[in-house]
Amino acid sequence: MSILPVITNPNPHLRRQAKEISADKIKTKKLQEFCLDMAETMLKKDGVGLAATQVDENIRLVTIKDKEAILILINPKITKKSFARVWGEEGCLSVPGVYGQVRRHKKITCLYLDQAGKPKKIEASDMLARIIQHEVDHLDGILFIDNAKDLTEEKQKNE
């Protein structure tokens, strides 16, 4: 396993529409290792989610930290969104030191494939729903700062 370099805004690759992963590629050793590298990178960088586009891979794959588990979502598609939406603070590994309030759906349903290529469905609410929406936005070339209000920038510490 290895830590992958995270690209940051304004890298134009963050604005690309990620491509679906074909069924035959899912079970390859290369993709399985990439999933492990993504999860390790997310944890090492203290993130709660990471999209493949953030490590400059133009594929529809995200890793998410959910309590003690790591979720790998391949080709995630949000199929249902609650009418209720809530504001909440977000940050991003690809927009370091910047935070803002983003309005997201309180509950969502997401269909995806797991690492074995099996179809799965997750019904998420609150923080998990927010993370999934944030990461799926990445796959569509959208950054949280595009929809955020009250953006603040953390002062850089002297290194």
For the chain, helix (H) and strand (E) counts, in that order, are 3, 8
DSSP state of 4: P
Beta strands in the chain (DSSP E): 49-51, 61-66, 69-81, 85-92, 95-105, 107-113, 119-125, 149-153
pTM above 0.85, yes or no: yes
Of the pLDDT bands very low, low, confident and very high (cuts 50, 70, 90), residue 157 is low
Residue 94 class from Cβ within 10 Å (0-12 exposed, 13-18 middle, 19+ buried)?
Answer: buried
Provide the mean pLDDT of the chain. Answer: 95
Residue 144 near residue 102, CB atoms below 8 Å: yes
Of the pLDDT bands very low, low, confident and very high (cuts 50, 70, 90), residue 1 is confident
Assigned CATH for 12-153? 3.90.45.10
pLDDT in tens, 133-143: 999 999 999 99
For the chain, the helix, strand and coil percentages under 3-state DSSP, each to the nearest 5? 30, 40, 35
Known catalytic membership, residue 135: yes
Residue 158 has pLDDT above 50, yes or no: no
pLDDT in tens, 76-115: 999 999 999 999 999 999 999 999 999 999 999 999 999 9
Residue 152 has pLDDT above 60, yes or no: yes
Which one from 57, 89, 135, 159 is the annotated catalytic residue?
135
Confidence (pLDDT) at 68: 83
Confidence (pLDDT) at 67: 85
Of the pLDDT bands very low, low, confident and very high (cuts 50, 70, 90), residue 159 is very low
Residue 97 near residue 69, CB atoms below 8 Å: no
- Spatial distance between the Cα atoms of 117 and 27, rounded to a whole number of angstroms: 7
83 CB contacts (<8 Å, ≥6 apart)?
none
